[in-house]
């Protein structure tokens, strides 16, 4: 089962890809996870 934080992270990471296409993938994913965790808390 996928948690709310994981779903938020995927959507935020996808949005970051649109806004920051030249940023490294690992940085976008880490930032997406951080933002999703903060929103879920």
- CA 5 – CA 22 distance, rounded (Å): 25
- CA 38 – CA 21 distance, rounded (Å): 23
Residue 2 or residue 35, greater confidence = 35
What residue numbers bound the domain in which 27 lies?
Answer: 4-40
Work out how many domains the chain is built from and give that number.
Answer: 1
- CA 30 – CA 34 distance, rounded (Å): 6
> Tens digit of pLDDT for each residue in 4-39?
999 999 999 999 999 999 999 999 999 999 999 999
Residue 41 has what pLDDT?
A: 81
**Confidence band for 2, pLDDT divided at 50, 70 and 90:** confident
pTM of the shown model: 0.86
Pair of tokens at residue 16: 């970051």
* Angle between helices 4-19 and 25-40 in degrees, nearest 10: 130
């Amino acid at each position: 089962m996928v948690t709310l934080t994981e779903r938020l992270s995927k959507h935020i990471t996808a949005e970051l890809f649109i806004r920051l296409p030249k940023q490294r993938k690992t940085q976008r994913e880490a930032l997406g996870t951080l933002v999703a965790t903060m929103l879920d808390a």
